[in-house]
Chains A and B, each alone.
Chain A
């Protein structure tokens, strides 16, 4: 069984400031890791993913995340946020053992950008 913990339900940040959204996971098998963004009344959009290789992955809209196997973490960062980054962010994990697998999501972090 897998689980994802997003410790912060809300993160308020001033515009142009850096931000880090935390994600920890638990799994007995190797995993793929994902960050999705959800704008109000919309579906989920993939920001970035870690499948293998370099532990630092870069995604869309200036976001990046670092996979840390020893700490079972996959924190999301952006050096300078914009008002348009206000949204709900979800960390997700799936089994990398082959074959399709449903994603296990965290409860989400609401990123609030303050002008």
Chain B
């Protein structure tokens, strides 16, 4: 079946703009994760959903970052008033078993 998809694949924003990144998980996967991968680094955990409930948002770097999954399927990561340090690849992963995570291709965000 289809894997995890993310859109857009590339996003360029001017500093101060708001952006919204979308994740479509594998159908039926109840767990959904967001990660931030800075250039040359490993991914870092941002937040986790089980169905529509956001159970862990300890990795969100500031209150400018907000994630939602209102119907327990598609998720959106929103970044308000983007700053240059927000430039990174944002990865989404979904899981059925809560152990093995399947990753999407990521959205590369560049803030100018």
A associates with B: yes
- Enumerate chain B interface residues (CB-CB to A < 8 A): 4, 31, 33, 35, 40-45, 48, 50, 55-56, 59, 91, 93, 95, 98-106
Across chains A and B, the number of contacting residue pairs, with CB separation under 8 Å, is: 60
Cβ contacts under 8 Å, B50 to chain A: 100
Chain B, residue nearest A32 (CB): B99
12 intermolecular pairs with C-beta atoms under 8 Å apart:
A42-B106, A43-B4, A90-B42, A94-B99, A99-B98, A100-B55, A102-B35, A102-B45, A103-B35, A105-B42, A105-B44, A106-B42
Of listed B42, B95, B102, B105, residue having the most chain A CB within 10 A: B42
Cβ contacts under 8 Å, A4 to chain B: 42
- How does the 8 Å CB contact mask read for A59-84 relative to B, with 1 for contact and 0 for none? 00000000000000000000000000
| Pair A43/B48 contact, Cβ less than 8 Å | no
